[in-house]
Structure 1
Amino acid sequence: MDHVVTCFVRNRGEVLLTRRSDRAETYAGRWAGVSGYVEEDNEEAEFDARRELREETGFGGTSLRLVRIGETLAVDDEEGSFVVHPFLFESTTREVRPNEELAAVEWADPTAIRDRETVPRLWETWRRVAPRVDDVREDRTNGSAWISARALEVLRDAAVDADDWESVAAVGRELRDARPSMAAVANRVNRVLATAERRPEAVAAAAVRALSAAHAANEASSATLVDRLRDAGATGVATLSRSGTVCECLREFGPDSVLVAESRPEREGVDVAEAMAEETAAAVTLTTEAAFPAALADGSVAPDAVVVGADAVLPDGSVVNKTGTTGLALAAREAGVPVYVVAARDKVRPTGDERVVTESSPAEAVYDGEEDVDVFAPTFERVPGRLVDGLATEDGLLDGDDARRVAAEHAEHAAWDGRGGSGE
């Protein structure tokens, strides 16, 4: 049997679908991912996956990140016998340079696979690399905007494959409770299940719309902050940890300099620093949270503004974010540098929910010695609202009254389960 790769490239929740040209050796005219033969070691198919992406679409470099390698599956029909190696990549760009093997390319929601004439078992291939509940529950690298989008994808795919509404609702409950520290996860899942009819196909369609709206909200929140930074004449920005919305803001704003804290112990800030160095013209400096006060006083790297994301916004205006944010905000206040939080409205907790869920980093990430040493390494902390100079959302800069109205709306959606999930 021949071994082949099928690569799905995702951007803004949609994947790149390609229609094979008449020059393709098999399945001419059918829709697929980006496919090609494994030419060397079947156990090293990632090399072939990246080669096919580069040759057929022009994707490569730091703009392309491997997300998952799926379990192989076998295809045996009149066109041949194949072992398919599924891959999922995330791309920061939608610019495609198709070669002669592709007759057409299109960014589409993965559910479009089910409505097209595709290569065999393409939906099943997608499902082998698609997000899962455990991804939402266990991801300690990406921010809540990213993770909440994955939650919507899980709900959408579960609804597509479901025969009844209750099985979809069961997945929704798992997702709703998977990341109690991240308000956007529960809020976005709750909205879909509260407003969609109690039919799997209705939930799937609502999840697709919600995913698109979530990406639009993140972009609009970023635009709000970009406008604020430009109005203030800022040229240098500091941040910590990983926030997709913050990264989008920095790409759009184009600062002269970026100061990034590595965000211990997982050090996800390193990825942010590398991405900013690759994707912007800014002078990028990587530091530690402990060195931030010194950096803010150093004229060579001192920023004009601090920009962070949020895992949740509480009704009193305080913000829940990665541990280290409070120290950064205090140092910024002492140095006279404004602190801005960029967060879509879905990060506001529902009325009556003011939890600060302090997930913990793995103890061994802080101390892996043999002595009897306790480790205190909470992942999130509450940042007092008095340390925040502005909360940028898709609806502009949010004030206290606005936040309370948003919180009431989220509370209404959160009641879907108690009313049987109908939203009525």
Structure 2
Amino acid sequence: MDQMERAPRRVITAFIVARFPSSPKGGEASRVLLLRRSDKVNTFQGYWAGVSGSLEKTDPDALFRAKTEIKEETGLVADVDIELIRAGKPLHVDGGTKHPNKTFEVTPFLFRLKNTKADIQIDWEHTEFRWIAPADILSFTTVPKLPETLARVYLPRSIHEGLEELKADRSLGAREMSLRALDILRGSLTDPTFYLFRKFAPLTPRGVYLTLLNAAYHLSAVRPSMSASIRAALGRVLSSLRQTVDQVERELESDPDRDATSNAVAVNRIKDALVNFVADTHQDIATSQERLNDHAASAVHAQQHTRWELRLLTVSSSSTVLAVVEEIAQRLNRDSDQTAGSSTRLHVHVLESRPLCEGSTSFVPQLASRLSQSSPNFPIHFHVHTDASVLSLLLTTPIDFILIGADRLDPSTGDAVNKTGSAVAAGCARLAKGLGVPAPKVVVVTDSSKIAAAEGDGGMERKASEELFDAYAGKHHPSTGAGANDPVTVTVDYDNVYFERVPAEWIDTVVTEEGVFEREERGSGEIALQMVARVWERRRTVLGVFDDL
């Protein structure tokens, strides 16, 4: 066996699902497409499989190969007949007794058939196809680990619905998103579709853990810009759960009288442990936010320019920044009570944050509502600005601090990734300082769970162009071109980038629940990289739990 055979062959397996009428009385049932491999293919002749194929050197990515193989093997066209639902974590598959010298790295995909009347046209690679209930895959003689491959992408209904919710959300920050992901994971325990193969085999403690782990993998990947916080929360819960599973399995193995009831009791122990770990993590996140608020408010309070006026600028609507500003206001209010009513005037300048203007529609009303309850007599003045006016604002209005959140803090550079507009605000502060104008300090407030290395494009999410059109009142050129009768083709792209990188050298201070970290003045512009790197190394151990998949 040479080196080429020892190296896993990179392949894709694409499953196509559709909903068909389940009875003449109405209702629908999900079905997944299986194809039987012909005797003309090189491997696993006569076995049932999904659409599959090996990645080629010229393929830009695995998704391209999946769409190509679907077109070749079924005649279905991507984005016309089918649409991508999700990709799963690759898994290693041995060739089994049929091909003992072969190993494969399989990247699974799940596609939705948009039109159930579409004509499936198989090619020479297959002899027949069937639409089956997903769980019935265990009744077929399939290529190795095909049921496990399907389970990577065909998820419990509650997880699927939760993923759709998080994907569509435009209001939650990273911290809130991680809390919601924890709740979705916990809620899946009561989902009757939690275990795909329940009618064929009993659920085991390890099965509960792996099902939850796979769900957590998808929950942490659904919003790339916020994956650091979500993955940290889920990783902590599942790392603790893994230890419980190991302990429960050892107890089962040492019990000579164990039976089906013993297994059921053990499964319930794992489920109960998950519920408790989620509750503990909720509390830990709340405590972390309180410590962060304290550190940030103390830093701002100690460094404000004048005793009688404090001016802050923020971007969009960060729940972390909101909590920090609320704490600052409460402290100023307490100070005024102690000085016979001589209060500091607090001005909060907010960039509206196109295209959905969360700064105006979310941040201002939320903070105003919370302060009306916690500090009802404290005067606060809000000023909402367009994103494009930030330089003019900084050149004409004294601002003490720019407070921005961070959905991710890069451990290798100290750069912060946050809502688009953050880098412009920080960069304009630097420009104003260079012009001799008193410039605000740029302060990033974020909990340490958001320290994470970049993956892919670094989480620079792009959203639908239609979000930009609302402000145009229909007066925009369609992105489809000039029309078939026009000899000149005109294409207009509307780029709706949601997140951007704020370079470390534009940041003066980073505040986390672990303390206040000032920029190192040694010419490098790095932000407390020792702290960032230390936290990242600690977290990588917890995130290693995802390697169990």
- Displacement of 1:208 after TM fit? 1.1
Supply the AA of the counterpart residue of 2:366: A
- Displacement of 1:313 after TM fit? 0.3
2:385 equivalent among 287, 301, 304: 287
* Alpha-carbon distance between aligned partners in 1 of 2:507 and 2:167, rounded to the nearest angstrom: 28
Question: Residue deviations 1:211-238, cap 9 Å, x none?
Answer: 1111221222122111100010251100
- Displacement of 1:411 after TM fit? 1.6
Q: Which residue of 2 aligns with 1:143?
A: 173
Q: Which residue of 2 aligns with 1:379?
A: 498
Partner secondary structure for residue 356 of structure 1: coil
Question: Residue deviations 1:245-269, cap 9 Å, x none?
Answer: 1111111111610000000001111
Question: Residue deviations 1:284-319, cap 9 Å, x none?
Answer: 0000111111112223xx321000101100011100
* Alpha-carbon distance between aligned partners in 2 of 1:195 and 1:355, rounded to the nearest angstrom: 30
Q: 1:354 to 1:393 in 2, by over 3 A?
A: farther
Supply the AA of the counterpart residue of 2:180: R
Q: Which residue of 1 aligns with 2:229?
A: 184
Q: Which residue of 2 aligns with 1:337?
A: 440
Q: Is the 8 A contact 1:225 1:392 kept in 2?
A: yes
Matched, 1:165 2:209: yes
Supply the AA of the counterpart residue of 1:309: G
Aligned residues: 289
2:366 equivalent among 275, 291, 300: 275
Q: Which residue of 2 aligns with 1:296?
A: 394
Q: Provide TM-score, normalisation by structure 2.
A: 0.50
Q: Which residue of 2 aligns with 1:195?
A: 240
2:548 equivalent among 405, 419, 424: 419
Q: Is the 8 A contact 2:409 2:417 kept in 1?
A: yes
1:154 equivalent among 184, 195, 212: 184
Larger radius of gyration: 2
Q: Which residue of 2 aligns with 1:322?
A: 419
Q: Is the 8 A contact 1:176 1:190 kept in 2?
A: no
* Alpha-carbon distance between aligned partners in 1 of 2:408 and 2:186, rounded to the nearest angstrom: 23
Q: Which residue of 2 aligns with 1:313?
A: 409
- Displacement of 1:274 after TM fit? 2.6
* Alpha-carbon distance between aligned partners in 1 of 2:366 and 2:405, rounded to the nearest angstrom: 17
* Alpha-carbon distance between aligned partners in 2 of 1:286 and 1:139, rounded to the nearest angstrom: 23
Q: Which residue of 2 aligns with 1:404?
A: 533
Q: Is the 8 A contact 2:315 2:350 kept in 1?
A: yes
- Displacement of 1:201 after TM fit? 2.0
Supply the AA of the counterpart residue of 1:184: S
- Displacement of 1:353 after TM fit? 5.1
Q: Which residue of 2 aligns with 1:228?
A: 299
* Alpha-carbon distance between aligned partners in 2 of 1:418 and 1:356, rounded to the nearest angstrom: 21
**Unpaired runs of 5+ in structure 2?**
1-156, 195-202, 246-269, 330-344, 372-378, 433-438, 479-490, 518-527
* Alpha-carbon distance between aligned partners in 2 of 1:274 and 1:298, rounded to the nearest angstrom: 26
Partner secondary structure for residue 285 of structure 1: strand
Q: Which residue of 2 aligns with 1:245?
A: 320
Q: Is the 8 A contact 2:318 2:405 kept in 1?
A: yes
Partner secondary structure for residue 545 of structure 2: coil
**Unpaired runs of 5+ in structure 1?**
1-126
Partner secondary structure for residue 357 of structure 1: coil
* Alpha-carbon distance between aligned partners in 2 of 1:249 and 1:160, rounded to the nearest angstrom: 36
Q: 1:156 to 1:230 in 2, by over 3 A?
A: same
- Aligned residues: percent identity? 26
- Displacement of 1:200 after TM fit? 2.3
Partner secondary structure for residue 298 of structure 2: helix
| CA RMSD, 1 decimal | 2.2
Q: Is the 8 A contact 1:155 1:204 kept in 2?
A: no
- Displacement of 1:340 after TM fit? 0.4
1:40-189 → structure 2 map (5 Å cutoff)? 132-159=162-189, 164-182=208-226, 183-189=228-234
- Displacement of 1:278 after TM fit? 4.1
Greater relative contact order (Cα < 8 A, sep 6+): 1
